Amino acid sequence: METETHGAATQASSPWPARSGVSRAELDPTRFLARSATLYPDRIAVVHGELRRTYAELAERVNRLVSSLRRNGLEQHERIAALCPNVPELLELHHAVPQAGGVLVAINTRLSRREITHILEHSGARLLFVDDELAPLVDAIDGLEVVRLGEAYERLVAQGDPAGVPSLLRDEEEPIAIDYTSGTTGSPKGVVYTYRGAYLNALGEVIEAELGHHPVYLWTLPMFHCNGWCFPWAVTAAGGTHVCLRQVDPGLIWRLFREEGVTHYNGSPTVQIALVNHPDAGPLGRPLTAMVAAAPPSPALLARMEELGIRVVHVYGLTETYGPHTVRRAEEDWHALPVEERARLLSRQGYAYTTADPVRVVDEAMCDVPRDGETMGEVVMRGNNVMSGYFDDPEVTETAFKGGWFHSGDLAVWHPDGAIELRDRGKDVIISGGENISSIEVEQTISAHPAVLECAVVAIPDDRWGERPKAFVTLKEGASATDAEIKAFCRDRLAHYKCPDAIEFRALPKTSTGKVQKFALREPEWSGRARRIN
- Helix (H) or strand (E) segment spanning residue 405: none
Amino acid sitting at position 127: L
Residue selected from 182, 268, 289, 397 as contacting a second copy according to rule CB under 8 A? 397
SS3 content of the chain, % helix, strand, coil (to 5): 35, 25, 40
In terms of CB distance, is 3 or 527 closer to a second copy?
3
Residues pairing with 362 in the sheet: 368, 378
Query: Of the listed pieces 162-170, 298-306, 391-399, 447-455, which binds a second copy according to CB under 8 A?
Result: 391-399
> Of 187, 156, 191, which Cα lies nearest the Cα of 177?
191
- Single out the residue of 357, 424, 454, 525 in contact with a second copy (rule: CB under 8 A): 357
Rule CB under 8 A: is residue 197 a binding residue for a second copy?
Answer: yes
Which DSSP symbol is given to 481?
Answer: -
Closer CB to a second copy, 333 or 463, in the complex = 333
Which part of the chain contacts a second copy (CB under 8 A), choosing from 73-81, 219-227, 266-274, 464-472? Answer: 73-81
Residue ranges in 129-188 that form contacts with a second copy under rule CB under 8 A: 143, 173, 175
Instruction: Determine the interface stretch with a second copy among 44-52, 120-128, 302-310, 470-478 (rule: CB under 8 A).
Output: 120-128
Residues in contact with 91: Cβ distance below 8 Å, sequence separation at least 6, in sequence order: 46, 223, 232, 242, 244
> Is residue 252 within 8 Å of residue 275, measured between CB atoms?
no
Contact pattern from residue 30 through residue 59 relative to a second copy, giving x for each residue in contact according to CB under 8 A and a dash for the rest = --x-xx--xx-x------------------
Considering only 153, 219, 231, 351, the residue that binds a second copy (CB under 8 A) is 351
Residues of this chain, 469-488, that bind a second copy according to CB under 8 A: none
- As measured in angstroms, the least distance from the Cβ of 135 to a second copy is 21
One of 121, 161, 260, 483 touching a second copy (CB under 8 A): 121
Q: What are 429's strand-pairing partners?
A: 438
Q: How many residues bind a second copy (CB under 8 A)?
A: 78
* Contact pick of 392, 462, 504, 525 for a second copy (by CB under 8 A): 392
Interface with a second copy (CB under 8 A), residue from 267, 297, 389, 466: 389
**Residue among 382, 423, 487, 522 that touches a second copy (CB under 8 A):** 382
Q: Which is nearer to a second copy, 248 or 386 (CB)?
A: 386
| Contacts with a second copy, 215-244, as mask; x by CB under 8 A | ----------------------xx------
111 is a contact residue toward a second copy (CB under 8 A):
no
Alpha-carbon gap, residue 415 to 316, rounded angstroms: 16
Distances in whole angstroms, Cα of residue 66 to Cα of each of 190, 317, 453, 456, 462: 24, 31, 52, 47, 44
If the CB atoms of residues 309 and 418 are measured against a second copy, the closer one turns out to be 418
Q: Tell me the β-bridge partners of 291.
A: 266, 313
**Of residues 54, 72, 375, 388, which one binds a second copy by CB under 8 A?**
388
Q: Smallest distance from the beta carbon of 149 to a second copy, in angstroms? A: 23
Dihedral sign for Cα 278, 498, 105, 185, please. Answer: negative
Comparing CB distances to a second copy, the nearer of 132 and 145 is 145
Which residues of 365-510 form beta strands (DSSP E)? 376-381, 389-390, 406-414, 420-425, 429-432, 435-438, 452-462, 466-475, 502-505
Considering only residues 217, 231, 233, 390, which one is a binding residue for a second copy as defined by CB under 8 A? 390
Q: Is 404 in the site for a second copy (CB under 8 A)?
A: yes
Verify binding: residue 12, a second copy, rule CB under 8 A: no
Q: Which is nearer to a second copy, 266 or 268 (CB)?
A: 266
* 268 within 8 A of 292, measured Cβ to Cβ: yes
Cβ neighbors of 339 (< 8 A, separation 6 or more) are 299, 302, 303, 306
- Give the containing element (helix H, strand E) for 527: none
Integer Cα distance of 364 and 368 in angstroms: 10
Minimum distance, C-beta of residue 38 to a second copy, in the bound complex (Å): 4
Give the binding range for a second copy (CB under 8 A) out of 225-233, 278-286, 381-389, 461-469: 381-389
Q: Which is nearer to a second copy, 359 or 499 (CB)?
A: 359
Nearer to a second copy, 17 or 136 (CB): 17
SS3 410: strand
Please report the DSSP string for 172-235 in residue order. Answer: TTSEEEEEEE--TTSS-EEEEEEHHHHHHHHHHHHHHTT--SS-EEE--S-TTSHHHHTHHHHH
Q: Which stretch binds a second copy (CB under 8 A): 46-54, 89-97, 349-357, 462-470?
A: 349-357
Q: Give the residue, chosen from 166, 285, 394, 528, that forms a contact with a second copy under the rule CB under 8 A.
A: 394
Which residues contact residue 474 at a Cβ distance below 8 angstroms, ignoring those fewer than 6 apart?
452, 453, 454, 455, 505, 506, 507, 508
Q: Which stretch binds a second copy (CB under 8 A): 12-20, 252-260, 444-452, 484-492?
A: 12-20
Q: Kindly state whether residue 387 participates in binding a second copy, applying the rule CB under 8 A.
A: yes
State yes or no: residue 196 binds a second copy (CB under 8 A): yes
Which position among 16, 450, 511, 530 is part of the footprint of a second copy (CB under 8 A)? 16
- CA count, 13 A, side-chain hemisphere, 516: 18
Interaction mask 449-468, a second copy, x per CB under 8 A: --------------------
Local structure of residue 103 (DSSP, 8 states): E
Q: Tell me which of 277, 354, 399, 447 binds a second copy, using CB under 8 A.
A: 354
3-state secondary structure 334-399: HCCCCHHHHHHHHCCCEEECCCCCCCEEECCCCCECCCCCCCEEEEEECCCCCCCEECCCHHHHHH
Footprint of a second copy on 425-444 (CB under 8 A): none
Q: How far apart are the C-alpha atoms of 534 and 526, rounded to whole Å? A: 10
Cα 261 to chain centroid distance, Å, stands at 25
Residue 401 as a binder of a second copy (CB under 8 A): the answer is yes
